[in-house]
Amino acid sequence: MLPTLIALRFDSPLSQALLYLVAVLLLGYGIWAGWRNAPGSVDPKTGKERPPTREQRTQRAVIYGVLFAALIWVGLHYALPPSAFLGGKGEGFPLHTYGLMLMAGFAAAILVSARLAEREWGGAEGVRRRNDAMDLAVWVVIGGIVGSKILFILVTPKDFLEALGSGSLWKILGALGGGFVFYGGLIGAAFAVWWFCRERKIDFLRFADVIAPTVALGQAFGRLGCFAAGCCWGKPATMHLPWAVRFPGASRALDLLGHPTSGAIAWDSQTRELRWVIESTGQVFDHPVPGALRISDWVAQHGTTLPIHPTQLYESLAQLILFVLLMIARRYRRFHGQILALYLIGYSIIRTTVELFRGDFERGTLHKLIDAVPLDAWWNISTSQFISLVMFALGVTLLVRGAGARRALPSASGAQPA
């Protein structure tokens, strides 16, 4: 568990010059990627895509350039000191394991989906669809971030409303810069894919069947990042659970070079936990009981969290298994949308099950929205469990409708005819 691998600082003129050089190269790559992946217009007579014109390439290059420039500005703002960048914070670039695993998962998902898209359509169209899958990455990121932030605000409205009521721009931006909710990111990304397919005249369900397994693959990597950061943690476990984990506090957390770094998010939360726990059993109570200790006192004494369920590893393993099963199912599908439906059903079951072991009440529950709902009530379901019910129903609906109107798939898809 390494929340931070290494922290890069840019205090010397040489390091600052190198960072500016990297920023220029990234901006150039972004502009080039936009120029290269610009879509052409569709010939109304043949229905085929024409090669993009110079104007279309220029327009896409400008869009990509603006997006990359905005991201680069944010990075320089946080990394460089005020002497090298106006308004800079001088925080450097801490290489967080969480961010690294997210990047690895996203890269793996994009590369695999591009390969699957090429095989799905085959020939020259397969090459175009492979490029579409690569081009889609930017819009998935935007849709995912916007969706996850919106749902985060919805499940934690009190914090945002307090910041909004203060009238302070910095407090509002701080509230907006809080956490993320995966389901919100999934919904936002799904809307981005639908819009993208509509613009490119691509069958949405067919394209979704290509992408769905890779989402599970990306999540398998992402949850490993959660484990490293100590977020999305589990409930206290019994002392005899052999795979229970204890996340380190600030006094014990080190990076790869042995330098002190920030403690795990789970530890920080439990330092403020006012409930009581029986150490031997992991039972948590809202009031003092014989043999129980206040959780915050236990954490302060030991410098780590209580032994808790590694829910991040539970979900990572389950997502990897789901990815393998969906890839196998692709060989036997009978209609477009079938793999998407199986993903929705499979993920909703995985998430609902894992939520039973989650202990981070900050993630959003019915209690957070309605104070009258007891925190430990069995019916105090989380936001993710509620959305899982909706996702499960949607997946079942897609299966039933698709099975009722199934038809033979194109041979290039790799599926066997019905």
Per-residue pLDDT in tens (0 to 9) along the chain, 418 residues: 677 788 788 989 999 999 999 999 999 999 999 998 888 887 777 767 788 899 999 999 999 999 999 999 989 998 999 999 988 888 888 888 888 898 899 999 999 999 999 999 998 889 999 999 988 888 898 888 888 878 777 766 666 666 666 665 555 555 555 556 677 888 888 999 999 999 989 999 999 999 999 999 999 999 999 999 898 899 999 878 899 999 998 888 877 777 778 888 899 999 999 899 998 888 888 889 998 999 999 999 999 999 999 999 999 999 999 999 999 999 999 999 999 999 999 999 999 999 989 988 766 666 565 566 566 665 567 778 888 999 999 999 999 998 877 655 655 445 544 3
User: How far is residue 70's CA from residue 92's CA, in Å, rounded to a whole number?
Assistant: 18
**Long-range residue pairs from 152-159, CB within 8 A, at least 24 positions apart, any chain:** 152/178, 152/179, 152/180, 152/181, 152/184, 152/364, 154/184, 154/383, 155/181, 155/363, 155/364, 155/368, 155/369, 155/383, 156/362, 156/364, 156/368, 157/369, 158/368
What per-residue confidence (pLDDT) applies to 416?
46
Q: Residue 409 has what DSSP assignment?
A: P
pLDDT at 168: 59
Q: What is the pLDDT of residue 359?
A: 86
Sign of CA dihedral 186, 408, 333, 387: positive
243, burial (CB in 10 Å: exposed 0-12, middle 13-18, buried 19+): exposed
| pLDDT reported for residue 185 | 82
The predicted pLDDT at position 366 comes to 61
Q: Which pLDDT does position 78 carry in this prediction?
A: 87
Q: What is the CA radius of gyration of the chain?
A: 24
DSSP annotation string for 284-334: EESS--TT-EEHHHHHHHHSBPPPB--HHHHHHHHHHHHHHHHHHHGGG--
Contact between 392 and 184 (Cβ < 8 Å): no
Q: Structure pTM? A: 0.78
Q: How far apart are CA 132 and CA 243, in angstroms?
A: 42
Which pLDDT score, from 0 to 100, does residue 418 have? 37
Counted residue by residue, the chain has a size of: 418
Cα–Cα separations (whole angstroms), residue 323 to 209, 216, 232, 349: 12, 5, 21, 14
pLDDT of res. 165? 67
DSSP secondary structure letter of residue 412 = G
